[in-house]
Homo-oligomer: A and B are copies of this chain.
């Protein structure tokens, strides 16, 4: 741990609570003004903390955005570990459809949004972090799909695995874009379509 002396004086539990308080306020501001448009002063007003106080926990807006990217990555990684640990990981992915659709249509603060990808195109720190997390999540998903297909005696050559997984990830990203345009889509219908498409990609 390389915390500054000032930061070491803060009670760790209290510090985690304060960090969350800042992240929750930032989520509201990012949703309202975008990553690019939200200022530290807007975030500090929303959090009910002085900008100086916020700087005890984050070195600036960039650090807050990076904390968002990390939180999203942790969420995805935990979900994939959980699905991957089940007896039939492919069926688990298909059964996860309802949670997936609901999570996408009810965006949580930690979700990667279109805004996050747009920010990555302007900000090399964000782009690098996003890429590292994405490579790691893609690796987890590849291993899960490979194990699940082997279990079912289905083909697992590299090109097929790569392409099936990239097509799945394309769908995950695209549904996020789609949810911004049509937030009122029929959820039961999307779950059914998701399952039809995933069964074909994973189990054939």
- A residues with CB within 8 A of B: 34, 37, 114-115, 117-118, 121-122, 131, 134, 159-160, 162-164, 166-167, 169-175, 177-178, 180-182, 185-186, 188-190, 192-194, 196-197, 199-201, 204
Contact = CB atoms under 8 A, between A and B. Distances in A.
B117 A114 contact: yes
Contact of A172 (B117, B121, B174, B196): B174
Contacts of A34: 121-122
Count copies of this chain in the complex: 2
A163 B177 contact: no
Contacts of A200: 196-197, 199-200
A192 B181 CA distance: 28
Contacts of A170: 171, 174-175, 177-178
B177 A177 contact: yes
A167 B181 contact: no
